[in-house]
């Protein structure tokens, strides 16, 4: 299964790279600009990506064709009769043909000899009669085949181009008025994109270069995950989420660049850091955003400007959006992003051109539309949650609502357990804040960690009102199994109610693989010297693997143990907290978590201070003495 998962991850990255190269080849056969002669160039400064010729206009070519035919073409005729060798007579139709060509000379084949005569030597039957007083028939036969060959030969000498534009050469700057010469070069560039005769080897080399760059960018993100976020890399859903998010953004950018004349700033690239931050962390969000804009920069008209502006936007998006718990936060983030777009774009343009007139007013309209699209990403959060079974802060806030129907049922069926869960939630949340864990996640997980006790609340002491404990009437191993079953029962309930997997993990790991020591010790005391399998008294686990899971495990045990203290002094509470944590550490329950020794010390301090504050002594109110 692990091998199959690794193959799918590698395939996802390869497909993403292939898709990007396919969508963003430099020779995409698409010229994505529109302009008008006499108006300013509305895009960023345009430079040539490759060498291309400057093609002559149709008017220039027509003028050159007319000139060369007039100067050099001599239509061919064959002499039919020698009766009047002093007169070369043409038919009226042939004379009109010569007038159409504008020719100055004509070639006449006499026998096997070809002679060239000026156009003035030729007559029509009418002009021959006027000149010689004789009726003469046309004695010249037009040789259309030979004339056409001569004509094509002359026209082939005309070059359709006039000069070259070298790769890297500036074509036109932003804001520069498009002249006729500029328009001729732009039309030539557009034609070059569509010209099938472009050097094939140059296209191949360019595609290879783009592919290598895309692979380098994706490899950077892969290495980031492997070094700093290995759990994300091990999770197939996370890898697919990252690849799909980049792919969707690249597709949107490609559609805008290929099929519209709209600005690339219309594409909401901030979706990448926002959606990633909602489900993961700020560092991953920023790194994925940088990967996305680096890839896209291979296709945009002004890559340096694009990278500068989008980098600033990504940083602001990550910094302004911590935990998305309210829709208003997304609106605020969109506002900050809009402001960043305006400031970054304006500053960049002034820094490069120094002219206010180079700022394009409609670009700011694109920024506004972009901000609206960012607000619309709220719907994408729900979609990605369902598709990839992820959990957002919005969902955690909804689950943590103690006024929900399920929480009301929990409070009614198992009131003691419900209050215990509330106290554990408060303790664990404070500890999570102290060590930089996720307080909202642990608050929600703590509320549901003992939900399985709803099945048989009467077996748990916190719900027993009359002091009668049914477990005391059972054998220790039987009683232990009933207590242990609240974990599996809780997981079953969580699945039935559609709780996210991350919350179910709190239910499964809040006891880890620890022993139900009360019943284990009771069995040992009742059967001295007899061997017993600890598995009869051990929770199924697994052990917690996150800091939040470890904190909940400690908070659950300490809150329950605190009710057994007879005297709530600072020393007693401190000793109890230290004993419980030391016991869990010695049992290896936190071996799979990233907790440090400092984290453990901070957690001890928070738990101790919180329990002392909860169980402080109150002032005894004096009674009124009777006189």
Confidence of residue 619 (pLDDT cuts 50, 70, 90): low
Query: In whole angstroms, what is the distance from residue 315 CA to residue 337 CA?
Result: 9
Identify the residue with better confidence: 304 or 26. Answer: 304
User: Is 94's pLDDT higher than 50?
Assistant: yes
CB 465 within 8 A of CB 424: no
Domain spanning 393-614, CATH class:
mainly alpha
Query: In whole angstroms, what is the distance from residue 22 CA to residue 211 CA?
Result: 9
pLDDT of residue 197: 47
CB 273 within 8 A of CB 324: no
pLDDT of residue 200: 63
pLDDT of residue 82: 58
- Please give the C-alpha separations between residue 68 and each of 74, 155, 256, 471, in angstroms, as whole numbers: 11, 8, 46, 113
Tokens of 621: 């109110």
pLDDT of residue 32: 61
Query: In whole angstroms, what is the distance from residue 478 CA to residue 484 CA?
Result: 10
Query: Helix, strand, coil % (nearest 5) of the chain?
Result: 65, 5, 30
Domain with CATH 1.10.3210 in the chain: 393-614
pLDDT digits (tens, 9 = 90+) for 61-73: 989 988 888 888 8
Confidence of residue 617 (pLDDT cuts 50, 70, 90): low
Query: In whole angstroms, what is the distance from residue 389 CA to residue 400 CA?
Result: 18
Average confidence score pLDDT of the chain: 87
Confidence of residue 27 (pLDDT cuts 50, 70, 90): very low
Q: Span 28-38, mean pLDDT?
A: 67
For residue 45, the 8-state DSSP code is P
pLDDT of residue 309: 95
Contacts of 69 (CB under 8 A, 6+ apart): 101, 102, 103, 151, 154, 155
Q: In what order do the strands lie in the sheet with 113-118?
A: 113-118, 105-110, 76-79, 140-142
Q: Span 444-466, mean pLDDT?
A: 91
Q: Span 422-427, mean pLDDT?
A: 95
User: What value does the CA radius of gyration of the chain take, rounded to a whole number of Å?
Assistant: 43
pLDDT digits (tens, 9 = 90+) for 132-144: 888 888 888 888 8
pLDDT digits (tens, 9 = 90+) for 294-310: 999 988 877 888 999 99
Q: Span 510-531, mean pLDDT?
A: 90
Under DSSP, is residue 118 helix (H, G, I), strand (E, B) or coil? strand
Kindly give the pairing relationship between strand 122-123 and strand 88-89: parallel
pLDDT digits (tens, 9 = 90+) for 339-367: 999 999 999 888 877 777 767 788 899 99
**Cα end-to-end distance, the chain, whole Å:** 85
Query: In whole angstroms, what is the distance from residue 380 CA to residue 425 CA?
Result: 30
Q: Span 430-456, mean pLDDT?
A: 94
Question: Other CB atoms closer than 10 Å to residue 257's CB: what's the count?
Answer: 22
CB 249 within 8 A of CB 272: yes
Q: Span 204-215, mean pLDDT?
A: 84
Identify the residue with better confidence: 38 or 480. Answer: 480
């Amino acid at each position: 299964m692990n091998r199959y998962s690794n193959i799918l991850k590698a395939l996802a990255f390869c497909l993403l790279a292939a898709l990007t190269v396919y969508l963003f080849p430099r020779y995409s056969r698409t010229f994505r600009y529109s302009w008008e002669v006499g108006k300013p160039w509305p895009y960023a400064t345009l430079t040539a990506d490759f060498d291309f010729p400057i093609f002559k206009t149709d008017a220039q070519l027509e003028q050159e064709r007319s000139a060369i035919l007039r100067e050099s073409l001599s239509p061919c005729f064959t002499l039919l009769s020698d009766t009047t060798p002093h007169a070369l007579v043409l038919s009226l139709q042939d004379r009109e043909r010569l007038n159409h060509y504008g020719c100055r000379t004509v070639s006449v084949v006499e026998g096997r000899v070809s002679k060239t005569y000026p156009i003035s030597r030729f007559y029509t039957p009418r002009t021959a009669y006027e000149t010689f007083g004789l009726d003469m028939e046309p004695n010249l036969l037009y040789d259309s085949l030979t004339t056409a060959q001569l004509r094509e030969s002359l026209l082939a000498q005309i070059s359709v181009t006039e000069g070259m534009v070298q790769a890297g050469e500036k074509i036109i700057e932003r804001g520069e008025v498009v002249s006729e010469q500029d328009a001729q070069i732009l039309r030539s560039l557009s034609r070059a994109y569509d010209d099938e005769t472009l050097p094939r080897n140059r296209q191949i080399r360019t595609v290879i270069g783009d592919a290598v760059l895309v692979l380098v960018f994706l490899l950077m993100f892969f290495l980031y995950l492997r070094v700093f976020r290995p759990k994300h890399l091990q999770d197939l859903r996370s890898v697919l989420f990252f690849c799909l998010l980049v792919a969707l953004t690249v597709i949107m950018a490609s559609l805008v660049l290929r099929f519209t004349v709209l600005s690339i700033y219309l594409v909401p690239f901030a979706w990448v850091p926002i959606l990633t931050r909602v489900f993961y962390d700020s560092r991953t969000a920023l790194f994925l955003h940088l990967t996305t804009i680096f890839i896209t920069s291979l296709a945009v008209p002004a890559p340096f400007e694009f990278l500068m502006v989008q980098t600033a936007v990504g940083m602001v998006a990550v910094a302004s959006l911590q935990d998305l718990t309210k829709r208003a936060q997304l609106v605020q983030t969109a506002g900050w992003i809009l402001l960043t777009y305006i400031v970054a774009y304006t500053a960049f343009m002034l820094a490069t051109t120094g002219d206010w007139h180079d700022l394009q007013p409609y670009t700011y309209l694109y920024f506004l539309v972009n901000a609206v699209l960012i607000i619309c990403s709220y719907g994408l959060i729900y979609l990605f949650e369902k598709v990839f079974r992820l959990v957002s802060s919005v969902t955690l806030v909804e689950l943590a609502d103690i006024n929900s129907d399920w929480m009301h049922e929990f409070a009614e069926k198992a009131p003691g357990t419900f209050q215990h869960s509330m106290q554990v939630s408060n303790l664990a949340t404070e500890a999570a804040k102290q060590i930089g864990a996720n307080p909202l996640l642990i608050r929600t997980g703590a509320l549901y960690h003992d939900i399985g006790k709803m099945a048989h609340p009467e077996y748990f002491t916190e719900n027993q009102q009359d002091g009668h404990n049914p477990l005391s009437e059972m054998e220790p191993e039987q009683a232990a199994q009933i207590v242990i079953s609240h974990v599996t029962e809780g997981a079953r309930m969580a699945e039935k109610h559609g709780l996210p997997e991350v919350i179910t993990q709190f239910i499964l790991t809040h006891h880890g693989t620890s022993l139900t020591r009360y019943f284990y010790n009771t069995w040992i005391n009742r059967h001295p010297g007899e061997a017993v399998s600890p598995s009869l008294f051990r929770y199924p686990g697994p052990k917690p693997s996150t800091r939040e899971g470890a904190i909940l495990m400690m908070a659950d045990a300490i809150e329950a143990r605190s009710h057994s203290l007879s005297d709530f002094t600072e020393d007693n509470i401190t000793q109890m907290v230290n004993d419980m944590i030391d016991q869990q550490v010695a049992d290896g329950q936190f071996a799979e978590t990233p907790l440090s020794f400092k984290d453990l010390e901070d957690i001890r301090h928070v738990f101790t201070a919180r329990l002392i504050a909860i169980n402080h002594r109150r002032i005894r109110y004096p009674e009124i003495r009777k006189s």
